[in-house]
Structure 1
Amino acid sequence: MRESSQDHHSDASDALAGLQANSLIKEDRNPLVMLLWGIPLVLNTFGVIMITSVGTNISIARWDAPFVLAIKQIQWSIIAVLGMIVCYAIPFRIWRRYSGVFWFLSLGLMYLTLLPGMPKVYGASRWINLGVFSIQPSEVLFVFSVIHLSKKLHEKDISKRRAFFRTILMYALAFFPFVLQPDYGGAILLFVLMMGIYVEAHGWAYPLTCGGALGAIMFIPLLFSPYRMARVLAFLDPWEDPRGKGFQIIQGFIAFANGGLWGVGLGQGLQKLRYLPAAHTDFIFAAIGEELGFVGTSLVLVLFICWFAVILRFYVDFKGTITGTLLWGFAISVALPLLVNLGGVLKLFPMTGVPLPFISYGGSALVMMWARVGFLLGSIRDGLSEQKA
């Protein structure tokens, strides 16, 4: 009886200690939670400042007013932050419960872009025109792919083989609209994202054996696409066609060279004067390099690294749970476009037209980046509640 009483007392003590530990986790994380939305807010604000600087001439040329692009980005930023608040305010368990509905809706939007009459940008049908503004459904699909796939991979008693089959099935359904748009870069990013989520939840075995072969097959269309091959060749040797396919890459290098350590000064850059295409979107990092120098670009990278470090700190607490997989997936879904954009600007990868997260000009991409922040905060809140329970 005494041993039983002692055991009971020990169990009660352990339970109390667990609750206290969870409480400490929550209290200790309050500053880190603030960083999860505070750092993107700093990056977003910095992006508005840079768009104001590099977008003045474009605004004057298009609308005969200097700050049109900046005002539009401020408007989108407000909408994006409000969207983040909505995503966080709705309990994340609801997003998880209906993740399949949201994922199929986003997939339907992807197929909707293929209908006649949809707007085309550089020959690609990736947008849906809603009159007042346009949306890019792939941005929505990426976010809900993280939520729905994480949920499916953590179903009770699911085997690694079955989990991998579901991952491939989800990707196959989304692959066709990407190819038909065409958005081959988006298809590759989604493949890497889904494989990354599967690896976190179930390990490397199936992705190494099957995923590698599927990944290799995806590169075959490169051999039969003159446009994509031209991009690859421009990446390999931009000076072969300095006024054509290699023009953008070379002008980006010139922007970095002009900036040096401290930059030429905010608003003083010359490359934005019709020399550097897409200075406010895809190549805004090069514009930062020219106007604020190595110091400015390093600051941007440090902010991103700090943000991922905060997510990693939470991930350590939730590793092995669906919350951990969600945090991992959301982190990858931001890291991939970040790496692809920086790699394209710095000539590490071929250019794919992916914007710099939170900084580049754009509406739907910015809104969905902030939606990720809301879902991150919501998943952590629900994860802490589940731990405490």
Structure 2
Amino acid sequence: MERESPDQVRCGPDPFIWAIPLVLTGLGILMISSTTSYRSLALFGNPFVFGLRQLQFLGIGLTAMVMTYMIPLGWLRRLTAPFWVLALVFTWLSLAPLVGHAAGGASRWLRLGPFSFQPFELLSLASVAHLANRLTVEELTPKRAFTRTLLLLSLSVLPVLLQPDLGGTLLLTALCMGLYVDHHGWRYPLGGGAGLALIVTFLIRGENYRLRRIWAFLDPWKDPRDSGFQVIQGLVAFANGGFWGVGLGKGFQKLHYLPASDTDFIFAVLAEELGFPGTALVLSLFAFWAFRVMKLARTQTDSFFALLVWGLGLSVLLPMIINVGGVTKLLPLTGMPLPFLSYGGSSLVSMWIKIGLLLGLAKESGREGVPQ
């Protein structure tokens, strides 16, 4: 990645780095309230319970953002290893019978007293930070850097595979390869692509539900009442909305027709109610945010900080691409939430932690002599 001269850089946090996610989160709270209003009214007598919960998660996320923003940059490199080990321990604990919690056939949740969260969100962030450190702590040949990348990736994905979470495994793989490619090019990742394809094929064939997802992606109308139901109902939401949408709160698919309408398929509900202008706004905001993050990465004078910015940006954009691709039938469904918009505290808080780190890095962008 080509770096900009420090003379071209104005120091200080880029307001777009936090303002765009705040707009997306606000839109997400609005859509969650709309999507869950009937269910919330039936369960609690209040149509806004889930929207208010997401607002509480936003408060926690903003607090976490401020805390990470205040971390001295000189500490970041020293904190990556213990943070990664802690996240890895939490991920393994999600498989334990007493503290782990299974939902939807996968043990992805960890209960600590009254709180529960998905440790994968921490693991993906920690893996990005620690790999950025390991790839820049010294001058490495491409082969040695690739070996380090594979070692860290293997240790990170093992508990994720056992949960099982193939979508999370593929996301972690893409993140680690994305960091390697930025620093050392495509030669070794392309060479290992055939082996990765064989492993993924083996993993898919080993579980019937994964095969059903692939067949539902290829031809959802072959089994429209079972494996293809969710894909079809998502497409129906897009068709119902047309160009302008049916109007906020007036969507039909959220009324028990579309599963996971407030989480994995919130983009489909948004398309039905707000139409093309709503979906175009969301995608445009993500695209402009990506542009600002790439610009921030080019202003970093320290290779570790530059690679960390790049990895943090990827860790937001790749889940967005996977989610939107699955909802629009461009990619197989993986159960990946839409960053900042889908309901859930683990994803939202982890995203705002990433924003805090980016703001801290933006504050010092272009400055020389950051303590190591």
Question: Unmatched 5+ residue regions in structure 1?
Answer: 1-20
Q: What is residue 238 of structure 1 aligned with on the other side?
A: 220
- 1:317: how far off? 2.7
Identity %: 46
Q: What is residue 95 of structure 1 aligned with on the other side?
A: 76
User: After the TM superposition, which residues 258-269 of structure 1 pair with which residues of structure 2 at under 5 Å, given as runs?
Assistant: 258-269=240-251
- 1:98: how far off? 1.6
Q: Deviations over 1:311-338 (max 9, x none)?
A: 1222233388222211211111111110
Higher percent of residues as helix: 1
Instruction: Check conservation: 2:94, 2:109, Cα contact below 8 A.
Output: yes
Cα 1:320–1:204 change in 2 (3 A) is farther
Given the alignment of the two structures, is residue 64 of structure 1 paired with residue 54 of structure 2, yes or no? Answer: no
Separation of aligned partners in 1, 2:237 and 2:96: 40
- 1:24: how far off? 5.5
Separation of aligned partners in 2, 1:355 and 1:211: 26
Separation of aligned partners in 2, 1:239 and 1:365: 32
Q: What is residue 359 of structure 2 aligned with on the other side?
A: 377
Instruction: Check conservation: 2:84, 2:126, Cα contact below 8 A.
Output: yes
Aligned-partner residue type, residue 21 of structure 2: P
Given the alignment of the two structures, is residue 225 of structure 1 paired with residue 202 of structure 2, yes or no? Answer: no
Given the alignment of the two structures, is residue 187 of structure 1 paired with residue 169 of structure 2, yes or no? Answer: yes
Aligned residues: CA RMSD: 1.8
Q: Secondary structure at the match of 1:234?
A: helix
Q: Deviations over 1:119-167 (max 9, x none)?
A: 1111100000124331101100111111110011002232222211111
Aligned-partner residue type, residue 367 of structure 2: S
Q: What is residue 11 of structure 1 aligned with on the other side?
A: none
Given the alignment of the two structures, is residue 34 of structure 1 paired with residue 18 of structure 2, yes or no? Answer: no
Aligned-partner residue type, residue 76 of structure 1: F
Q: What is residue 93 of structure 2 aligned with on the other side?
A: 112
Q: Secondary structure at the match of 1:119?
A: strand
Q: Secondary structure at the match of 2:102?
A: coil
Q: Secondary structure at the match of 2:272?
A: helix
Question: Unmatched 5+ residue regions in structure 2?
Answer: none
Instruction: State the structure with bigger RCO (CA 8 A, min sep 6), 1 or 2.
Output: 2
Runs of 4+ in 1 over 4 A off after TM superposition: none
Q: What is residue 9 of structure 2 aligned with on the other side?
A: 25
53, 77, 93: which one aligns with 2:58? 77
Given the alignment of the two structures, is residue 297 of structure 1 paired with residue 287 of structure 2, yes or no? Answer: no
Q: Secondary structure at the match of 1:128?
A: strand
Number of residues of Structure 1 aligned to a counterpart in Structure 2: 366
Q: TM-score, normalised by structure 1?
A: 0.90
Instruction: Check conservation: 1:337, 1:354, Cα contact below 8 A.
Output: yes
Separation of aligned partners in 2, 1:46 and 1:285: 11
Instruction: Check conservation: 1:51, 1:70, Cα contact below 8 A.
Output: yes
Cα 1:388–1:179 change in 2 (3 A) is closer
